């Protein structure tokens, strides 16, 4: 592979912008289409991401006015959720006074570090290069939510019913999915390449 190979900067910018745009548009659609009008009229009466009691009251309020849309019956539906924690609901029990500034700082550091990592990644590591805008786009998408709402809007729910009992994956969004795709590409980049091993074997 040529040492003068250039990094696909334009393609990476397109992936980044498309990821953030798709994430924000779908979240706004979920916010408006999966909630009844009464929710928007009364939402200020139930603070989000407050004390444990306030969080429980907010969740009951959301359940009262949200609509579930079945995409694949018995497996996939759309359901509005406000996530004050991290991706897939992690650290949900941590006090908000610590959780919000913690996730805000972590998100900002990630958004600042990923472009730096891009500059240090060799041009021949194509999967790594394409992974970074997915991760960055996901981080930016969720950071926008935290800055605007203090919580992240989730709406994609996967579940299965086994012996009458429903088991579900934590509700997520496009930003979370983009981060997972990016991490997957990074892992693929780390796998040993067959061609390199064959070249080493042939030279020995």
Active site residues: 154, 176
Cα(187)–Cα(127) distance, integer angstroms: 9
Signed CA dihedral, 179, 143, 136, 9: sign only = positive
Q: Count Cα neighbours of 50 within 13 Å in the Cβ-side half-sphere.
A: 13
Q: For residue 153, what are the CA distances in angstroms to 26, 53, 87, 141?
A: 10, 20, 11, 10
Which residues lie closer than 8 Å to 14 by C-beta, 6 or more apart?
none
């Amino acid at each position: 592979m040529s040492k003068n190979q250039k990094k696909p900067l334009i393609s990476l910018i397109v992936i980044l912008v498309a990821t953030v745009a798709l994430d924000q548009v779908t979240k706004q659609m979920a916010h408006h289409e999966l909630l009844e009008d009464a929710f928007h009229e009364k939402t200020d009466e139930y603070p989000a991401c407050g004390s444990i009691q306030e969080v429980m009251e907010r969740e009951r309020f959301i359940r009262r006015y949200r609509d579930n849309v079945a995409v694949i019956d018995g497996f996939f539906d759309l359901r509005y959720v406000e996530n004050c924690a991290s991706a897939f609901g992690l650290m949900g029990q941590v006090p908000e006074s610590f959780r919000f500034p913690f996730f805000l700082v972590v998100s900002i550091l990630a958004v600042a570090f990923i472009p730096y990592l891009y500059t240090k990644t060799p041009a021949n590591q194509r999967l790594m290069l394409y992974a970074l805008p997915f991760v960055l786009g996901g981080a930016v998408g969720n950071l926008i939510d935290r800055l605007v709402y203090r919580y992240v809007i989730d709406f994609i729910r996967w579940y299965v019913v086994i012996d009458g009992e429903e088991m579900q994956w934590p509700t997520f969004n496009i930003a979370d999915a983009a981060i997972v795709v990016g991490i997957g590409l990074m892992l693929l980049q780390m796998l040993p390449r067959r061609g390199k091993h064959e070249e080493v074997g042939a030279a020995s």
